[in-house]
Structure 1
Amino acid sequence: MVLRELNDIFWPDYKKAAYGVFGQRLIQLEDAKVNAERALRAAQKNHTDNPSTRIHELVGYLQKLRK
């Protein structure tokens, strides 16, 4: 179901295990980090952990290591 939605709506050219997938979406990385942070704040505000993610923290940490 999720894969079908991904293919039909968001990413028609997606193929599982395709080469270069990360590079194709790299331009959306900062937006993804902002969205993850917003989801975490909303979950915390509602005193829940669903949905939430801390991937933005991991990505930010890795980006700092790279510099």
Structure 2
Amino acid sequence: MDVDKATAVISAAGIELTDRRRNGTDDGWSLSFSNGAVVEIRDNGEVSVSGKGAEVVASHLGLPGKPA
């Protein structure tokens, strides 16, 4: 998944992006949102969602099952 597309989809749902930075291993992006969710998008396209608002964000991104 593309980081800009993920940001746009989640923002369109009314959840504000509060931080966007390269992750600690510099192989992807870490996105923080106002509902407490954190989305990790690696350069290879792998996506994981965690935090307080993870289930809501995962559903907006169309991710199957429960978030990590």
| Range into which the TM-score falls when normalised by the shorter chain | under 0.3
TM-score by length of 2: 0.26
Structure (1 or 2) with the greater strand fraction: 2
Pick the structure with more helix per residue. 1
Bigger radius of gyration, 1 or 2? Answer: 1
TM-score (normalised: structure 1): 0.26
